[in-house]
Structure 1
Amino acid sequence: MHLVYPAVLSALLFCVGVYGVLARRNAILLLMSVELMLAAVSLNLVAFDVWLRDTLHSGQVFTLFLIALSAAEIGIGLAIVLLIYRNRGVSAVDRLTELREHAGDGARPGGEPERRENTVT
């Protein structure tokens, strides 16, 4: 097997993923683009493992770890995106510039958050 074909395919997948991260504003599409980049890295790892004829198959082992890492990343990422969409009503990344809530969402009109007393009942 030639190394050129999977390497070119991997480079194209990675470039599509980078374009998706830079051009898209939707958080779900950003997560999909990151997954494309991780798939490109996995393809490279397996292709070089086959090309080098590694007896330990370390490229395939690293690919399995990368698949587990991407599954955890997509689970946490989707949970964060759903929580932000539920609280703010928007999933566009460029509109999420502040970490705190706006004045109408549980804060005082002056901008400082509402103080709550810690009482034990």
Structure 2
Amino acid sequence: MDLSMLWYLVPSVIMFAAGVYGFVTRKNMIALLISLELMLNSADLNFVVFNRFLFPGSMEGMVFTLFAIAIAAAETAIAIAIIVNIYRAVGNTDINSVKKMKY
């Protein structure tokens, strides 16, 4: 592995680990959404880095990352709309309150 690749992969691993930690420990839906986006951005960074170092002349990793960012933006817009509707129905965005809505 090229040493200069580590300059990109180490922050990606740190971002992914922070996203997993936030997703596991938080109870607020907005915090969960932010943690999920952090993990997705880490994966996008990995796509770009591996494309750059394994296939320097091609752009497939960059194009795939742009599609992934566009899909993540649409997913975030839908998730925020769902969270706003839950907030209107329940009054907060706590995961435990949403679980009570099932019963």
Q: Say which structure is richer in helix.
A: 2
Q: Does 1:29 align with 2:31?
A: yes
Whose RCO is larger (CA < 8 A, sep 6+)? 2
Over 3 Å counting, the alpha-carbon distance change for 1:51 and 1:91 in structure 2 is same
Alpha-carbon RMSD? 1.6
Give me the TM-score of the superposition, normalised by structure 1.
0.77
Alpha-carbon offset, residue 93 of structure 1: 1.0
Which consecutive residues of structure 2, in runs of 5 or more, have no partner in the other structure? none
Alpha-carbon offset, residue 28 of structure 1: 0.5
- Residue by residue over 1:1-25, the C-alpha shift from the partner in whole angstroms, topping out at 9 and shown as x without a partner, is 7111111110100000000100001
SS state at 1:3 partner? helix
- Residue by residue over 1:40-90, the C-alpha shift from the partner in whole angstroms, topping out at 9 and shown as x without a partner, is 011111111111134331110110011011101100000000000001101
Identity across the alignment (%): 40
Q: 1:19 aligns with which of 16, 21, 28?
A: 21
Matches within 5 A, 1:62-81: 62-81=64-83
Give me the TM-score of the superposition, normalised by structure 2.
0.90
SS state at 2:48 partner? helix
Which consecutive residues of structure 1, in runs of 5 or more, have no partner in the other structure? 103-121
Separation (CA, whole Å) in 1 of partners of 2:7 and 2:38: 17
Alpha-carbon offset, residue 98 of structure 1: 4.1
Matches within 5 A, 1:1-121: 2-100=4-102
